């Protein structure tokens, strides 16, 4: 691997003879893996039933390494949100945040959503997840991924983190900052990362990361925990960033990650201006450790830190549930019939429970719950998202398996035979995991799997 010159000069100066040891990749090909969605199954169930080679990763209990030529995006379990293609070391930061069901969690740099999916899985559908992405097109990809993973309690925003901090100060128990970075850990995976790399990019990313970290600190409740991560090695974005932040914020303490079971401690000569900084409490994954490269730090806000009063938002108007929805829900999803609905343009939305307590009125909200469907010509037309979130609870189901040829046909967008589903709407499932919905008539299921998501291979 040919590294950029500026990078090699800096790292050789910092590491001396250790450069060749730490930058010797542990695998000949870039590491590949999948992270299992605990909203769908346990890692144990996945390990027993996967029909491809998957070895547990040391970086996170729900992550697995896969063969270099495995294409997760073509697997039916990918479509069913059972797994998320994620380089194994990228699974480490979200797991460090120690998210528990019922918490309020914010992921500030969320797209495409690998770590957000892990946070959602840790919440187990209880509590609230604010998933923010600054770049609009990427926020749309984030939405699609969270829909596929069956996340029911996320509010997805497309915002500058400063606007989030102003609207919701002190509101979150956990905050993840997976900062936009100079990507030195991407050199081997993406040639463009090496081609675009220069010292000015590092300085720009360090500045942006510092801004986002400030806003993350403001969003965090007293006693709350923040994880900051990058996929780069640059001191200004890693140890230097965290040391400078701590020097400015006495209400925060650095948590010791040395017991995390992977990687190596952060390095003091990467924050030389801060002799009191405990660099060894932060964590690095070097190429020699089996990942492409990650840095992470965990910070806790003092329990007696000032708790700002957030500005009050207006409670949203709750429209009367249309009869078409109520009839549909009572027939196919009885547990949802009593849930409040919100309007989203021509669509009806099952709002994220608790989201009314967030002051999002002036924010760009991409999605604040699960799209239920729309009323067309006095008939309720269910959304794909409804089946992906609640398909396993649908009263009318067609159960497929990985080896059933109807599974591939369904994902190609074809009509399939119904073996168990009765006339009307039905959820289609593979191994019990949702693959969208269809409409049964005369023993055939008309395919409503969205065209843009079909697996045409
Ligand atoms: C390292 S990536 C996040 C990867 C993601 N956490 C995951 O696990 O899938 C950093 C993200 O930060 C976003 N970003 C860019 N500028 C930003 C800004 N000013 N504020 C917040 N996020 C920004 C990028 O678009 C990118 O999606």
* Domain final position from 255, 273, 301: 301
**391 compared with 194, residue with greater pLDDT:** 391
Confidence of residue 55 (pLDDT cuts 50, 70, 90): very high
Q: Do 262 and 338 sit in the same domain of this protein?
A: no
- DSSP annotation of 222 reads E
Q: Domain holding 114: CATH number?
A: 3.40.50.150
* Ligand 1 mean position, distance from CA 262 (Å): 24
Q: Is residue 160 part of a domain?
A: yes
Omega of the bond prior to 112 within 30 degrees of 0, cis?
A: yes
* Ligand 1 mean position, distance from CA 226 (Å): 16
* Domain final position from 281, 301, 321: 301
The number of the ligand 1 atom at minimal distance from the alpha carbon of 160 is: 20
Query: What's the pLDDT tens digit per position in 271-311?
Result: 999 999 999 999 999 999 998 899 999 999 999 998 877 77
The response to whether residue 212 sits with its C-beta less than 6 Å from ligand 1 reads yes
Q: Whose CA is nearest to atom 18 of ligand 1?
A: 134
Average pLDDT over residues 150-166: 98
Residue 221 contacts residue 106 (beta carbons within 8 Å)? no
Q: Is residue 29 part of a domain?
A: yes
Q: Whose CA is nearest to atom 23 of ligand 1?
A: 134
Alpha helices in 394-449 (DSSP H): 405-411
Run of H or E including 330: helix 323-332
The response to whether residue 227 sits with its C-beta less than 6 Å from ligand 1 reads no
Dihedrals phi, psi of 24, to nearest 5 degrees: -90, 110
- Whole-angstrom CA distances from 310 to 154, 225, 317, 340, 357 are 20, 19, 21, 25, 10
Query: What's the pLDDT tens digit per position in 62-76?
Result: 999 999 899 999 999
Q: Do 411 and 280 sit in the same domain of this protein?
A: no
The dihedral sign for the CA sequence 32, 298, 148, 125: positive
Confidence of residue 346 (pLDDT cuts 50, 70, 90): confident
How many domains would you assign to the chain? 3
* Domain final position from 360, 376, 395: 395
**133 labelled binding-site residue:** yes
Residue 319: per-residue pLDDT: 72
Q: Do 391 and 414 sit in the same domain of this protein?
A: no
Q: Is residue 406 part of a domain?
A: yes
Q: Is residue 306 part of a domain?
A: no
The response to whether residue 38 sits with its C-beta less than 6 Å from ligand 1 reads no
**111 labelled binding-site residue:** yes
Q: Do 90 and 162 sit in the same domain of this protein?
A: yes
Task: Provide, rounded to the nearest whole percent, the portion of the chain with pLDDT above 90.
Answer: 88
Residue 141: per-residue pLDDT: 98
Residue 456: per-residue pLDDT: 66
Q: Whose CA is nearest to atom 6 of ligand 1?
A: 110
Residue 191: per-residue pLDDT: 85
Residue 360 contacts residue 370 (beta carbons within 8 Å)? no
Residue 310: per-residue pLDDT: 73
* Ligand 1 mean position, distance from CA 133 (Å): 6
| Rounded Cα gap, residues 95 and 118, in angstroms | 7
**110 labelled binding-site residue:** yes
Residue 153 contacts residue 127 (beta carbons within 8 Å)? yes
Indicate which residue of 41, 60, 231, 394 is catalytic. Answer: 231
Rg of the chain's alpha carbons, rounded to an integer?
23
Q: Do 370 and 408 sit in the same domain of this protein?
A: no
User: What is the Cα 24 distance to its own chain's centre?
Assistant: 29
Q: Do 348 and 269 sit in the same domain of this protein?
A: no
Q: Do 133 and 45 sit in the same domain of this protein?
A: yes
Closest CA to 39 of 74, 95, 77, 81: 81
Q: Is residue 93 part of a domain?
A: yes
Range of the domain at 32: 5-301
Confidence of residue 315 (pLDDT cuts 50, 70, 90): low
Residue 268 contacts residue 282 (beta carbons within 8 Å)? no
Q: What is the pTM of this model?
A: 0.97
Q: Phi-psi region for residue 398, left (φ > 0), alpha (ψ -120 to 50) or beta?
A: beta
| Rounded Cα gap, residues 292 and 417, in angstroms | 45
**51 labelled binding-site residue:** no
**113 labelled binding-site residue:** yes
Q: Whose CA is nearest to atom 10 of ligand 1?
A: 180
Q: Are strands 154-157 and 365-367 parallel, antiparallel or unpaired?
A: antiparallel
Q: Do 286 and 317 sit in the same domain of this protein?
A: no
Task: Provide, rounded to the nearest whole percent, the portion of the chain with pLDDT above 70.
Answer: 98
Q: Average pLDDT, whole number, for the chain?
A: 95
Residue 109 contacts residue 159 (beta carbons within 8 Å)? no
Residue 398: per-residue pLDDT: 98
Q: Is residue 33 part of a domain?
A: yes
* Ligand 1 mean position, distance from CA 249 (Å): 24
| Rounded Cα gap, residues 365 and 189, in angstroms | 32
Query: Is a pLDDT exceeding 70 seen at residue 313?
Result: no
The number of the ligand 1 atom at minimal distance from the alpha carbon of 112 is: 9
The response to whether residue 232 sits with its C-beta less than 6 Å from ligand 1 reads no
Q: Do 54 and 200 sit in the same domain of this protein?
A: yes
Average pLDDT over residues 340-359: 89
Q: Do 76 and 141 sit in the same domain of this protein?
A: yes
Q: Is residue 307 part of a domain?
A: no
Q: Is residue 297 part of a domain?
A: yes
| Burial of 454: CB neighbours in 10 Å, binned 0-12, 13-18, 19+ | middle
Q: Do 326 and 404 sit in the same domain of this protein?
A: no
Q: Do 293 and 210 sit in the same domain of this protein?
A: yes
Determine whether 231 is an active site residue. Answer: yes
Closest CA to 225 of 326, 303, 115: 303
């Amino acid at each position: 691997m040919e590294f950029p010159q500026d990078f090699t000069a800096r790292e050789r100066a910092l590491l001396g003879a250790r450069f060749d040891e730490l930058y010797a990749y542990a695998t000949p090909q870039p590491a590949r893996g999948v992270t299992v969605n605990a909203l769908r199954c346990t890692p144990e169930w996945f390990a027993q039933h996967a029909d491809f080679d998957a070895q547990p990763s040391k970086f996170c209990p729900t992550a697995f390494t896969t063969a270099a030529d495995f294409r997760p995006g073509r697997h039916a379990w990918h479509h069913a949100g059972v797994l998320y293609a994620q380089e194994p070391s990228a699974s480490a930061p979200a797991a460090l945040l120690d998210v528990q069901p019922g918490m309020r969690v914010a992921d500030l740099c969320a797209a495409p959503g690998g770590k957000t999916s892990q946070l959602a899985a840790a919440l187990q559908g209880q509590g609230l997840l604010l998933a923010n992405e600054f770049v609009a097109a990427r926020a749309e990809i984030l939405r699609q991924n969270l829909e596929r993973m069956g996340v029911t309690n996320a509010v997805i925003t497309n915002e500058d983190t400063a606007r989030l901090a102003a609207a919701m100060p002190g509101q979150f128990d956990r905050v993840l900052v997976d900062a936009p970075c100079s990507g030195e850990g991407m050199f081997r995976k993406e040639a463009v990362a090496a081609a675009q790399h220069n010292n000015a990019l590092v300085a720009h990313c360090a500045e942006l990361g510092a801004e986002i970290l400030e806003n993350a600190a403001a969003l965090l409740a007293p006693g709350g925990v923040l994880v900051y991560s990058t996929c780069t090695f640059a001191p200004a974005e890693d140890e230097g960033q965290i040391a400078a932040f701590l020097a400015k914020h006495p209400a925060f303490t650095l948590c010791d990650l040395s017991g995390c079971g992977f990687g190596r401690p952060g390095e003091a000569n990467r924050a030389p201006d801060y002799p009191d900084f405990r660099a060894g409490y932060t964590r690095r994954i070097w190429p020699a450790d089996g990942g492409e490269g990650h840095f992470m730090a965990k910070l806790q806000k003092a329990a007696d830190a000032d708790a700002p009063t957030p500005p009050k938002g207006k409670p949203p108007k709750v429209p009367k549930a249309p009869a078409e929805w109520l009839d549909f829900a009572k027939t196919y999803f009885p547990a949802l019939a009593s849930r409040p609905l919100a309007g989203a343009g021509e669509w009806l939305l099952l709002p994220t429970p608790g989201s009314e307590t967030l002051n999002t009125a002036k924010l760009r909200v991409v999605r604040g719950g699960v799209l239920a469907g729309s009323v067309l010509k006095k008939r309720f037309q269910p959304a794909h998202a409804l089946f992906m979130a609640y398909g396993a609870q649908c009263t009318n189901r067609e159960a497929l398996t990985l080896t059933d040829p109807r599974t591939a046909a369904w994902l190609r967008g074809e009509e399939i035979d119904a073996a168990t589903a009765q006339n009307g709407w039905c959820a289609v499932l593979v191994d019990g995991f949702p693959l969208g919905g269809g409409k049964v008539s005369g023993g055939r299921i008309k395919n409503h799997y969205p065209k843009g998501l079909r697996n045409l291979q």
